[in-house]
Amino acid sequence: MIFPAAFLEDPLRILRGIRFACRFGFAIERETWEAMARSAPLMETLSAERVQGELTGILVQCQRPSGALGMMRETGVLARVLPEIDRCAGVNQNEYHPDDVFIHSVKTCDQVPRDNLAVRWAALLHDVGKVDRRQTVHDEKLGDRVVFYGHEAVGAEAAVGVLRRLRYRNALIQKCEILVRNHMFNYQSEWKPSTVRRFIRQVGETNLEDLFLLREADIRSRDPEARFDDLRELRGRVSEELGKRAVLRVSDLAVDGGDVMRACGLGPGPLVGKILGEALEAVLEEPGLNERDRLLEWVKKRFPKSRKPV
């Protein structure tokens, strides 16, 4: 195959042309478009860092990245730089989703503020696990229906793989992994305060607002007029728990590893961490337990066999 000299000299021009067309509303001439499509295989010769730069530009400069992502797919570029997204096309969903996984994903990305790169990436990648977790089950009331059980865990691993391949910073990769893994949270008004505290601990205080942004974008991609009463309620309950300075980490406990070792007659080892972890679970359930004397007494009763005779 003969490639145009401009793209042969620097294949990144293909991706850059798509970015400019999406950002500024340019139309790409037919001959140029056909040349870009023919030259798409050259994308595989580029360094990850250079591809990352252009993809970042698409996500933070384009009001609606879906336009660029659609052009990337039509030219064959997407299959070479983001095959995990490309393979989502044509994967039909269930009654809750009118679009296939690809269209839903890019629409969700569009709904995220463009100054938040991490959440735009999380939105684009949040459902990539559906491709491998799609199955049909029989429901007595609804009949046969499509489900994607566990897709969030598969998707989180895939997201890490994509972003590592593109050489993104660890902080962004870790945040995206957390957001994708937790995007299916199912809040109910019946949640106990301890359930809210466990939710905060699982997601992490610094990730909560980004997770809520992702949930809003996910819903708006299907229903632009959607209300968020449940999400507003959860936000309020999270704020209330944080205002109480809730214990959410082992480091927040009134005792530390040294206290546990002295109380149980232990030396350093994994059992100390296990005891502290169980103590945290107990305090999440009963915050009043987080007083030094009470908590040490709980530890001694909970782990009596750990104590060595003096």
Pick the range with the lowest mean pLDDT from 157-161, 178-182, 263-267. Answer: 263-267
- Is 6 part of a structural domain of the chain? yes
> Does residue 212 share a domain with residue 270?
no
Q: Are residues 103 and 236 in the same domain?
A: yes
pLDDT tens, residue by residue, 206-248: 999 999 999 999 999 999 888 999 999 999 999 999 998 888 9
pLDDT digits (tens, 9 = 90+) for 51-63: 999 999 999 999 9
Q: How high is the mean pLDDT of the chain?
A: 94
What does 30-88 look like in DSSP terms, one character per residue?
Answer: HHHHHHHHHTGGGGGGS-HHHHHHHHHHHHHH-S-HHHHHHHHHHHT-HHHH-HHHHTT
Examine the domain organization and report whether 65 and 101 are in the same domain.
no
The answer as to whether 201 is a domain residue is no
In a domain, 25, yes or no: yes
* pLDDT the model gives residue 2: 63
295 and 254 within one domain: yes
Same domain membership, residue 216 and residue 123: yes
Residue 25 has pLDDT above 60, yes or no: yes
pLDDT for 309: 44
What pTM value is reported for the model?
Answer: 0.91
**What pLDDT digit, counting tens, does each position of 260-310 carry?**
999 888 899 999 999 999 999 999 999 999 999 999 999 999 887 655 543
Q: Give Rg (Cα) of the chain.
A: 25
Question: What is the rounded distance in angstroms from the CA atom of residue 102 to the CA atom of residue 78?
Answer: 11
Number of C-beta neighbours around residue 67 at 10 A: 18
Q: How high is the pLDDT of residue 310?
A: 38
- The reply to whether 151 falls in a domain is yes
Judgement on whether residues 149 and 231 belong to the same structural domain of the protein: yes
131 has pLDDT over 70 = yes
The encoded tokens of residue 176 equal 């995206």
Which amino acid, one-letter code, is at 159? A
Q: Are residues 99 and 175 in the same domain?
A: yes
Q: Looking at the structure, do residues 106 and 234 belong to the same domain, yes or no? A: yes
In a domain, 197, yes or no: no
In CATH, what number is assigned to the domain containing residue 286? 1.10.246
Same-domain check for residues 33 and 147: no
Residue 189 in any domain: the answer is: no
The domain boundary, picked from 49, 81, 113, lies at 81
Q: What's the pLDDT tens digit per position in 95-125?
A: 888 899 999 999 999 999 999 999 999 999 9
Residue scoring higher pLDDT (212 or 147):
212
Residues 179 and 108 in one domain: yes
Segments forming the whole domain that contains residue 29 = 1-81
For residue 288, the model assigns a pLDDT of 93
Answer yes or no: is pLDDT of 128 > 60: yes
- What is the reported pLDDT for 32? 94
pLDDT recorded at residue 305: 62
On whether both 92 and 61 belong to a single domain, the answer is: no
Instruction: Answer yes or no: is 203 within a domain.
Output: no
Q: Are residues 91 and 231 both part of a single domain?
A: yes
What pLDDT, on a 0 to 100 scale, did the predictor assign at position 306? 59
Q: Is residue 193 part of a domain?
A: no
Q: Give how many domains the chain has, as a whole number.
A: 3
